Amino acid sequence: MSSSVESRQAKMIDELRTFIKKVLSDPTIAVKSMEIARKHRGQPNAEELIAREISASTNIRIPENWSEADKMFLEIIHDVLDDEEALY
């Protein structure tokens, strides 16, 4: 594995650790994030709308230029929404 790949992975792990700590310290983040995602699901540019509103409504900050961890968070939100939809 190249050092650039290892460096990217280490950065992503660090970002995810910080994110998980924020979610665990404020359990409303997950609820708010999912409410926001449901509201914007299916709209054009849904991911951008979700990212902006989560940043404005919680202590999670998703910058305009998404990191790999930001992309993973948004993908996981969509996975959870897909799982919810499959239940109904």
Nearest-angstrom CA–CA distance, 66 and 77: 15
The average pLDDT across 2-21 equals 87
**DSSP assignment of 24-52:** HH-THHHHHHHHHHHHHTTSTTHHHHHHH
pLDDT of 5: 87
Q: What band does 1 get if pLDDT is binned at 50, 70 and 90?
A: low
Q: Residue 21: pLDDT above 70?
A: yes
pLDDT of 88: 67
15, 73 in Cβ contact below 8 A? no
22, 29 in Cβ contact below 8 A? yes
Q: What is the pLDDT of residues 40-84, one digit of tens each?
A: 999 999 999 999 999 999 999 999 999 888 898 999 999 999 998
